[in-house]
Amino acid sequence: MPQWLTILSWVSIILGLATAGVIAIDITRHRQHMAIMNIVWPVTGLYFPVAGWWLYTTMGRPMAVDAPKMEGRSPYWKSIFLSATHCGSGCVIGDIIGALIVLAMGWILLGQRLYSEYVVEFALAYLFGIAFQYFPIRAMRQIAPGHSVGTTPQAFIAGKRIGGYDDLRRFFGKTVPQRGATSYQPVIAVFAMTALVAMATSFAILGTPFTVQAAEWLIAFSMCVLAILKLQDVERFSTMFLNYDLLAQRWVPYGYAYPFAEALAGVLMVAGALRWLSVPVALFIGSIGAISVFKAVYIDKRELKCALAAQAMFPSASSPSPRT
């Protein structure tokens, strides 16, 4: 690495820490109306050295509890920037915590610590970013934690209320999915994505995407993703599973155990561990499922929605989200 780049990095870090420290000290005397901003502004200074102080004094100080009341509305771009600082600060905190965790634990992924940092930091940045957006919204609306995320924005055109997302699509002449309509999209999305991930993993490890191992990973990744979808609502999945699965109809607990068995087999197959357990489990649940679907469709002449009983694989496949 060039020496000038190392020097520039250290200068940026020192200035960032100094900016964050100065803002933090100033905030102790000028607390913000929105509590989360008492954290957001110092963190903003951390990744905006020097400029962060100007941003804080221009937009943050005027919003302090002891600041004079502002006349009129803030420019639109300021509102957008302030909203972005919530998520940006949460992501920065997640990145810092993730880097420290990986360093302390010594985690290595695919022979590189950097890859471990990518995974851990992304996950934590995502969680902290959402939290820093969610709690201010809940505080502003003064509503219970379980309600603010589900609130549907309402669209108005020329002073007339149009409604939610589906109503807006109808207003502009767009198609709106019908309740209970058969859809192949969830199935296509899952298997297309897991196939791409399997090929990408094969390319990263073996140097080519087209290998026997890639095919095995496709099966394993697909089982893991399908298990995630089922585990979102095990009770609902097991109820629909009873509609066609032969074993679940005779032994109800199998419907509850199925997602966990599928997840276990998928994870073990990805790891290539305990094949004496993962292979029999995968073959057992796969065979029972295939026989059950064949009987329901070709012998009993029943209609299973969402292609190959995807209604059972996707607990919410036949019930659109409450967007209106």
| pLDDT one-digit tens code per residue, 16-68 | 899 999 999 988 888 887 778 888 899 998 888 888 889 888 888 888 888 77
| pLDDT one-digit tens code per residue, 89-121 | 888 898 899 888 988 888 888 888 888 888 888
In angstroms, rounded to a whole number, what is the distance separating the alpha carbons of residues 229 and 316? 9
Question: Does the structure show a pLDDT above 60 at 307?
Answer: no
Residue 31 phi/psi, 5-degree rounding, is -65, 145
324: confidence class by pLDDT, cuts 50, 70, 90: very low
pLDDT computed for residue 25 by the predictor = 92
- Mean pLDDT score, 188-212: 89
72: confidence class by pLDDT, cuts 50, 70, 90: low
Which one is predicted more confidently, 142 or 300?
Answer: 300
In angstroms, rounded to a whole number, what is the distance separating the alpha carbons of residues 165 and 159? 17
CB 85 within 8 A of CB 74: no
- Mean pLDDT score, 175-200: 79
- Mean pLDDT score, 199-209: 90
Parallel/antiparallel/unpaired status of strands 160-163 and 155-157: antiparallel
**What would you measure as the largest C-alpha separation in the chain, in angstroms?**
77
Name the residue among 218, 216, 224 with its Cα closest to residue 198. 218
> In sequence order, what are the residues at sequence separation of 6 or more whose Cβ sits closer than 8 angstroms to the Cβ of residue 129?
87, 88, 90, 91, 94
- Mean pLDDT score, 219-242: 85
